[in-house]
Amino acid sequence: AAGVIQSPRHLIKEKRETATLKCYPIPRHDTVYWYQQGPGQDPQFLISFYEKMQSDKGSIPDRFSAQQFSDYHSELNMSSLELGDSALYFCASSPREFGTQYFGPGTRLLVL
Amino acid sequence: DQQVKQNSPSLSVQEGRISILNCDYTNSMFDYFLWYKKYPAEGPTFLISISSIKDKNEDGRFTVFLNKSAKHLSLHIVPSQPGDSAVYFCAASYHGGSQGNLIFGKGTKLSVKP
């Protein structure tokens, strides 16, 4: 069965650079969630979209922005990267708002 | 302040025995609870969930128990298999009985020994 696709799987950036993470949800899923998992930490909710509209917002820094496109894929844009942004970034999709969330494999971001 | 707590960072169990993973929460507004399993280099995989209107949900070898008065839930795996070795995350949400954004515990690493 098709799963959530995230790209890239690994990314190395330097401080103050920008990064764009992409998420392709499971077909016919209209809701996307972004989570950040720091080393040894639990995943922390960043932001979610339902039907291309932002539906909820968590602990997402102002330096980050995200959107969901007409084909339901989502992009997380991160600017002025800091060392503390180094983490695993997970995207999850669900077949409806408030449905069970299915996670992608994650993007590991390293900021040097 | 950790709203979902998994106080055991690790658990070791013999193959064929029962594995019991515990989770406590502090927010009484939570109305939906989930367990995810995570292997290294993979994203969390949904295992089983329970709504706050129930106290038990069973799916094959996996059973989740919810004690609302104690704000405690547990995941039972019977019988445990070596392939169950992974990190297990407890997660909670509140959206009137459905699932919104998830609040995770820090995870418990389960090792099932042959």
Q: What is the CATH classification number for the domain harbouring A105?
A: 2.60.40.10
> Is residue B21 pLDDT above 70, yes or no?
yes
Substitution target from A42, A50, A96 for chain B, most B beta carbons within 10 A: A42
User: What b-and-e string marks burial along A14-44, b requiring 16 or more CB atoms within 10 Å of the CB?
Assistant: eeeeebebbbbbbeebbbbbbbbbeeeebbb
The boundaries of the domain holding residue B17 are 4-113
The boundaries of the domain holding residue A18 are 5-111
Q: What is the mean pLDDT of residues A100-109?
A: 94
| Average pLDDT of chain B to the nearest whole number | 93
Does any CB of chain A come closer than 8 Å to the CB of residue B47?
no
pLDDT in tens, B25-52: 999 999 899 999 999 888 999 999 999 9
Q: What is the mean pLDDT of residues A28-41?
A: 91
Give B102→chain A minimum CA distance, Å.
7
Residue B112 has what pLDDT?
A: 97
Does any CB of chain A come closer than 8 Å to the CB of residue B67?
no
Q: Phi-psi region for residue B9, left (φ > 0), alpha (ψ -120 to 50) or beta?
A: alpha
Q: What are phi and psi of B49, to 5 degrees?
A: -135, 170
Residue A97 has what pLDDT?
A: 65
> Is residue B99 pLDDT above 60, yes or no?
no
Q: Is A46 within 8 Å of A92 (Cβ atoms)?
A: no
For residue A50, give the nearest of B104, B98, B48, B32 by alpha carbon: B98
pLDDT in tens, A43-101: 999 999 988 999 888 889 999 999 999 999 999 999 999 999 999 999 999 987 667 89
Cβ distance B100 to A48 less than 8 Å, yes or no, reads yes
- In chain B, the residue whose alpha carbon lies closest to the alpha carbon of A47 is B101
Q: Is A33 within 8 Å of A89 (Cβ atoms)?
A: no
Cβ distance A98 to B36 less than 8 Å, yes or no, reads no
Cβ distance B89 to A43 less than 8 Å, yes or no, reads yes
- In chain B, the residue whose alpha carbon lies closest to the alpha carbon of A97 is B100
User: Which of B83 and A1 is assigned the larger pLDDT?
Assistant: B83
Residue A96 has what pLDDT?
A: 74
Q: How far separated are the first and last CA of chain B, in Å rounded?
A: 38
> Is residue B97 pLDDT above 80, yes or no?
no
Q: How many domains does chain B have?
A: 1
- In chain B, the residue whose alpha carbon lies closest to the alpha carbon of A91 is B43
Report percent pLDDT > 90 for chain B: 82
Quick one: tokens of A90?
């997970």
Q: How many domains does chain A have?
A: 1
Cβ distance A98 to B100 less than 8 Å, yes or no, reads yes
CA dihedral A100, A106, A111, B1 (to 10 degrees): 30
Does any CB of chain A come closer than 8 Å to the CB of residue B95?
yes
Confidence bin at A24 (pLDDT 50/70/90): very high
Cβ distance B101 to A58 less than 8 Å, yes or no, reads yes
Instruction: Please list every residue in chain A whose beta carbon sits closer than 8 Å to the beta carbon of residue B49.
Output: 100
Q: In terms of residues, how long is chain B?
A: 114
Quick one: tokens of A110?
């390293």
